[in-house]
Amino acid sequence: MKNFRNLWMCASIAIGVFLIISCEKTEVSTETLEIQKEEFMNTTEYSDQPLDIDEEEIQEPVLHMSFDSTMDEETKALEWEKAVQEYIRKNPISNKTSSSDFFYGVTTVTGTGTHDKTNGKVMVSIRYNTDTQFVTSSYVNLDIPNVNDRQYGSEDFYLIRGSIPGQLISYVELSSAKFALQGKDGWVPKQLTVSVYPSWQIDQLGRFIPSAGYSLISEAPNVQLDNQTSSGWAYHSTGNIGSGRLTFF
């Protein structure tokens, strides 16, 4: 009887080990398959490229908000505008009729497909025209620390302070934007928007800087940015689709 019990215990242990190993193999196989599916899905013209970035000149957004797809567009717009007004009244542009600084916004909408979201680093650089020169901005880092931005269906709003040091400008005309993603965690932006409005330009006395009109870049690219290396960059340019002009008086 004792031998029988020992034999039964050994058999039970062996069966348990077998089941654990089988489960682990199944999990590993599923994870491996998922990684293989995400391995490389780039649909832009450029991937695994170096990006000409001066680390010392990288800008950070001054304000960011992220909304999921369950919130209606009107509520998102109202909440964002409220946050922008609160920020710019505490951090105004200098008091002058022409300005070397101005606030502009970047908005991204991430797709809802299986591999559309990303935790990868995203940068943006914009090109715009003024009465003094054509400007390519330094890159702006849209990867906010400790924030889950660019998730499934999320709409991310960023406020950025543009500047042309030492020069006063009388108008801003947005021209194009270049969005770049680093690494192998791909991203599908469904909508990309860059905008500059009079209501975002406030002086040190809390008054609106006299200005009129607005300028806008808006595109629904529906492309996937992805790389085969962790250090490479995939990027998408909107092309020169900007319209309108924000004029300072």
Instruction: Annotate 6-36 with DSSP letters as a single string.
Output: HHHHHHHHHHHHHHHHHHHHHHHHHHHHHHH
What pLDDT does residue 39 have?
74
One domain, residues 142 and 24: no
User: By residue range, what is the domain housing residue 88?
Assistant: 41-248
Q: What is the CATH number of the domain that holds 242?
A: 2.60.60.20
CB neighbours of 155 closer than 8 A, spacing ≥ 6?
Answer: 66, 67, 69, 76, 107, 108, 109, 110
Confidence of residue 209 (pLDDT cuts 50, 70, 90): confident
One domain, residues 156 and 190: yes
| pLDDT above 90 for 207 | no
| pLDDT above 80 for 192 | yes
41, burial (CB in 10 Å: exposed 0-12, middle 13-18, buried 19+): middle
One domain, residues 25 and 65: no
Amino acid at 27: E
Q: What percent of the chain has pLDDT over 70?
A: 82
One domain, residues 65 and 123: yes
Task: Return the structure tokens found at 206.
Answer: 């809390």
One domain, residues 26 and 110: no
Give the C-alpha separation, 71 to 62, whole Å: 23
Task: Return the structure tokens found at 249.
Answer: 């008086």
What pLDDT does residue 10 have?
46
For the chain, the domain total comes to: 2
Confidence of residue 239 (pLDDT cuts 50, 70, 90): very high
Of 52-56, 148-152, 178-182, 191-195, the poorest mean pLDDT is in 52-56
One domain, residues 196 and 109: yes
One domain, residues 33 and 50: no
One domain, residues 14 and 61: no
Selected residue with higher pLDDT from 153 and 5: 153
What pLDDT does residue 166 have?
78
One domain, residues 53 and 98: yes
One domain, residues 102 and 123: yes
One domain, residues 51 and 7: no
pTM for the whole structure: 0.83
Give the C-alpha separation, 194 to 200, whole Å: 13
Give the C-alpha separation, 15 to 120, whole Å: 42
One domain, residues 29 and 70: no
Selected residue with higher pLDDT from 15 and 156: 156
Residue 31 has phi, psi (to 5 degrees) of: -65, -40
| pLDDT above 70 for 63 | yes
Q: Got the DSSP string for 182-220? A: ESSS-B-EEEEEEEE-GGG-B-TTSPBPSEE--EEEEE-
